Amino acid sequence: MATKEIMAKMILDRWNASIKNFDDLLNTLSDEQLQREIGPNKNRGIYLLGHLIAVHDLMIPLLDMGQAMYPNLHKPFVELADKAAEKIPSAKELREHWIKQRELLKQKFDHLKPEDWFEKHTAVSDEDFIKEPHRNKLNVILTRTTHLQYHIGQVVILK
């Protein structure tokens, strides 16, 4: 296996395992549990679920894979703090969004070749990418995996 193939496999394996870990955790939590805060005056589980969907949704255009599926979730779950939005989708709706988005991302990721992951993402210019080739699509997956793991650690408190 070539180095790029190994690196892409390592990072994507961790991404897929993290997605599975969150799926498994989410499936053990009731909608009522998702309404609880992870600590006094901290985010609720439902907010963290919406936040993960919104952040992962931004990866679609960032990785040049199409348009975001749920742009309406960006403001309440990225721009605003928990409880600041007047209305958010129900836990049931967010669970459905999570599944659809997870499936779309997997489909898109599965179609990329290892070398494709080392191409620039859309938030970096051609000039900057020449100077900073680590600002590639695979690095986006690495940072989003770390982000997902962080929030898994918070959501697990709701069990």
Query: Pick from 151, 153, 124: which is nearest to 55 by CA?
Result: 151
At 1 the pLDDT is: 78
Domains (ranges, CATH) in the chain? 3-158 (1.20.120.450)
Strand, coil or helix: what is 120? strand
At 36 the pLDDT is: 98
Residues of the chain with pLDDT under 70: none
Query: pTM of the prediction?
Result: 0.96
User: pLDDT exceeding 90 applies to what percent of the chain?
Assistant: 99
